[in-house]
């Protein structure tokens, strides 16, 4: 994954007036609402939640947790998967994740990087799926991948003489 020119410029410019907020959003058919997290150290009653815009919600609630995000890499033998680890996912989050793990549908994951100076234009990595999920008492982790669209039939129809006469020289 490469970062956009605007985000690269923001990293290089070292804007002291803005902070970078890294967020994760997990969605699954078994969830009533997506699970949203912002990276940080939770301070009870002071810094527990952050409101940020997402499509369809101008003030979505993100829980403050510590998480690790490793972008996919490129090595001589091929690409390496991205990995995430979310710490302190106790109580309700563990139950939601365990219910989703027993399903045959993958998690949909969206990673966003917001600048506090312009939260309406985040850097977005969407369309990610999470596999190899493990949940412990202290954290949840998994591998991220993009869906293999080259393995799907396109356009979803069988090529036939009636639909595609040009393929048969007619």
Tell me if residue 108 falls in helix, strand or coil: strand
Query: Cis bond leading into 79, ω under 30°?
Result: no
What's the rounded Cα separation, in Å, for the pair 80 and 16? 33
Q: How far apart are CA 170 and CA 166, in angstroms?
A: 5
Q: Residues 92-118: what's their mean pLDDT?
A: 79
Task: Write out pLDDT tens, residues 47-96.
Answer: 889 999 998 898 999 988 888 888 777 777 766 778 888 887 656 567 77
Please give the pLDDT value at position 61: 93
Residue 120 predicted with pLDDT over 70: yes
Neighbours of 109 (CB within 10 A): 23
b/e map 48-64, b = 16+ CB within 10 Å: eebebebeeeeebebbb
Q: CB atoms < 10 A from the CB of 22, how many?
A: 16
What confidence score (pLDDT) does residue 54 get? 92
**Domain positions in the chain:** 5-168
- Longest Cα separation, the chain: 72
pLDDT averaged over every residue in the chain: 79
């Amino acid at each position: 994954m490469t970062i956009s020119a605007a985000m690269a410029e923001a990293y290089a410019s070292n804007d002291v007036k803005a902070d970078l907020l890294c967020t994760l959003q997990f969605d699954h058919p078994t969830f009533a609402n997506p699970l949203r997290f912002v990276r940080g150290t939770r301070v009870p009653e002071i810094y527990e939640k952050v409101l940020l815009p997402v499509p369809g919600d101008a003030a979505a609630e993100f829980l403050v947790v510590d998480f690790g995000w490793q972008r996919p890499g490129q090595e001589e033998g091929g690409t390496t998967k991205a990995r995430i680890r979310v710490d302190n996912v106790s109580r309700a989050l563990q139950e939601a994740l365990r219910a989703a793990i027993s399903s045959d549908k993958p998690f949909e994951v969206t990673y966003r990087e917001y600048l506090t100076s312009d939260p309406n234009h985040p850097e977005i990595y969407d369309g990610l799926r999470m596999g190899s999920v493990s949940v412990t008492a202290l954290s949840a982790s998994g591998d991220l991948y993009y869906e293999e669209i080259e393995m799907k039939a396109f356009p979803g129809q069988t090529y036939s003489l009636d639909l595609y006469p040009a393929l048969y020289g007619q």
